[in-house]
A and B are shown apart, each in its own frame.
Chain A
Amino acid sequence: MGMLKTFWHRLGSPPWMYGIARPWMWGFGVLAAVLIPAGLIWGLFIAPPDYQQSDAFRIIYVHVPTAILAQSCYLMIGIAGFVHLVWRMKLADVVLQEALVIGASLTALALITGSVWGRPMWGTWWEWDARTTSMLILLFLYFGIYALREAIPRPDSRARASALLAVVGLINIPIIKYSVEWWRTLHQPSTFSMVEQPKMPAEMYLPLLVLVLGFYAFMGAVLLARIRVELLNRESGSSWAQAEARRLLSS
Chain B
Amino acid sequence: MNPKRRARLQAVTFILLGAALTVGLVLFAVRENINMFYEPARIASGEAPTDTRIRAGGMVLDGSVERSDESLAVSFVLTDHAGSDFTVYYSGILPDLFREGQGILVQGQLDSNRHFQAEEVLAKHDENYMPPELAGMAMQGDGSADTGADLP
Q: Report chain A residues within 8 Å CB of B132.
A: 48-51
Given A49-B132, A129-B36, A175-B27 in contact, is the A122-B122 Cβ separation under 8 Å? yes
Q: Are B97 and A188 in contact (CB under 8 A)?
A: no
Judged by a CB distance under 8 angstroms, whether A156 is at the interface is no
Q: If the complex has contacts A53-B148, A122-B122, are A183 and B35 also in contact, measured as CB distance less than 8 A?
A: yes
Rounded to whole Å, the gap between the CB of A195 and the closest CB of chain B is: 14
Chain B contact residue count (CB 8 A cutoff): 48
**Contacts A86-B9, A185-B36 given: A123-B127 contact, CB under 8 Å?**
no
Report if A50-B129 is in contact (Cβ < 8 Å); known contacts: A167-B15, A201-B134: yes
Chain A residues contacting B15 (CB-CB under 8 Å) are 164, 167-168
B39 cross-chain contacts in A, Cβ below 8 A: 184
Of B16-24, B64-72, B75-83, B108-116, the one touching chain A? B16-24
- A87 in contact (CB, < 8 A): yes
Q: A122-B122, A168-B15, A183-B34 are in contact. Are A189 and B127 (CB under 8 A)?
A: yes
Q: Please state if B127 and A190 are interface contacts (CB–CB under 8 Å).
A: yes
What distance in Å separates the Cβ of B95 from its nearest Cβ neighbour in chain A?
3
- Complex Cα–Cα for A164 and B15 (A): 9
Q: Does B143 contact A (CB under 8 A)?
A: no
Q: How far, in angstroms, from A122 to B19 measured CA to CA in the complex?
A: 34
**B51 at interface by CB-CB < 8 Å:** no
Once A121-B97, A190-B127, A191-B129 are accepted as A-B contacts, the answer to whether A170 and B146 lie under 8 Å apart by CB is no
Say yes or no: B36 contacts A186, CB within 8 Å: yes
- B16 pairs with A54, CB closer than 8 A: no
Are B134 and A199 neighbours in the complex by a CB distance under 8 Å?
A: no
B105 within 8 A of A: yes
Q: Are A48 and B131 in contact (CB under 8 A)?
A: yes
**A123 B95 Cβ-Cβ under 8 A:** yes
Assign chain A's interface to a size class.
35 or more
- Given the known interface contacts A121-B96, A191-B128, the answer about A186 and B16 at a Cβ–Cβ threshold of 8 Å is no
- B16 close to A168 (CB less than 8 A): yes
Could you tell me the distance between the alpha carbons of A129 and B132 in the complex, rounded to whole angstroms?
29
Closest to A180 in B: B127
Chain A residues proximal to chain B, CB less than 8 Å: 48-57, 60, 82, 85-87, 120-124, 127, 129-130, 164, 167-168, 170-171, 175, 182-186, 188-191, 199-201, 203-204
